[in-house]
Amino acid sequence: MQVAEAVAARRALRTLDARPIPNEVVKELVEAMRLSASCNNNQPWRVVIARDNDTLSKVKSALSKGNVWATRSPLIFVVAARPDDDCRLSDNRDYFLFSTGLAVSQMLLRATELGIIAHPIAGFNPVEAKRLLEIPNEYVVITFVICGYLGTDSSLLSEKQLEIEKKRPDRRPLGDSFFDGKWGAPLTI
């Protein structure tokens, strides 16, 4: 698959199959993150990989009610980082979130190539996740990436989630986010 194909195909779907993801696939996802760009190659991300029943149970207990669909996942990446592990620049430009986001994004594209749904979420209790997984307090638990093969049983999804599964959600118009030469100037491409 070409990168452009993976970008176009990537979706944050929620209808997952509970079958395990083989170790060689997990290794590919880890390697995609490991090779990601970061400020000065600092690689600030730290990831707890939940794939055994005990760790998965802990992680799933920290999910918000709206993410009950994620309880079918056989693999969850708990992604954390701390400001001191990456570039700290002027004007509050702490790169740890940006660098970690790049690593997650790269992993999402690799997952798509491998036929895996990889859905990052913010709906969880980060304090509980830190406690259960013994993540040091100075780390920010940024996201859980819910991974699994596409399933057919959508019974755990809300009506709104079922609608979102049917088609890719609309994106903002180009002119709302991209400007030509200065803030607010219409993009002419």
Could you tell me if residue 150 is inside a domain? yes
Tell me what pLDDT residue 1 has: 59
Q: What percent of the chain has pLDDT over 70?
A: 99
Assigned token pair, 131? 């406690």
Count the domains in the chain.
1
pLDDT of 91 > 70? The answer is yes
Q: What percent of the chain has pLDDT over 90?
A: 69
Could you tell me if residue 137 is inside a domain? yes
Could you tell me if residue 73 is inside a domain? yes
Could you tell me if residue 189 is inside a domain? no
The domain containing residue 95 runs over which residues?
Answer: 3-177
Note the pLDDT tens digit of each residue in 100-147: 999 999 999 999 999 999 999 999 999 999 999 999 999 999 999 999
Under the banding of pLDDT at 50, 70 and 90, the label for residue 168 is confident
CATH number at residue 115: 3.40.109.10
Could you tell me if residue 186 is inside a domain? no
Which of 47-61, 141-155, 159-173 shows the highest mean pLDDT? 47-61
Most distant CA pair in the chain: distance in Å?
A: 53
Could you tell me if residue 87 is inside a domain? yes
**28 CB-contact burial (10 Å; exposed 0-12 / middle 13-18 / buried 19+):** middle
Q: What is the mean pLDDT of the chain?
A: 93
- Measured CA to CA in angstroms, residue 67 lies from 30, 61, 93, 137, 167 at distances of 24, 11, 31, 24, 19
Q: Among 16, 43, 46, which residue's Cα sits nearest to residue 142?
A: 46
